[in-house]
Amino acid sequence: MEDASLDEFGDSDGGEGDDKEGTEQTAAPTEESPTSTESATPTSSVDPAGTDCKECGSSTERQWFDGGTLVCRDCKDW
């Protein structure tokens, strides 16, 4: 089998610069971008020194919010 030249795979008319590949333009979004974002809501808190649970009083490094109150894993209503 003989090696093929790259020229054999080019345009049949031999012209250059006629490729449209990669030149498509995308339309601008019609929706307006949001001007403000909503803050993330924390679900837990970590304190390496430990914090007392508001329900049972045990000291833990990680506590979860349960109805706006930080509680330990055992007191959290999962």
Nearest of 62, 57, 70, 66 to residue 46 by alpha carbon: 62
Query: Which residue pairs from 9-17 have beta carbons closer than 8 angstroms and sit at least 24 positions apart in sequence?
Result: none
pLDDT tens, 46-70?
999 999 999 999 999 999 999 989 9
Whole-prediction pTM value? 0.48
pLDDT tens, 11-52?
766 555 555 566 666 666 667 767 788 899 899 999 999 999
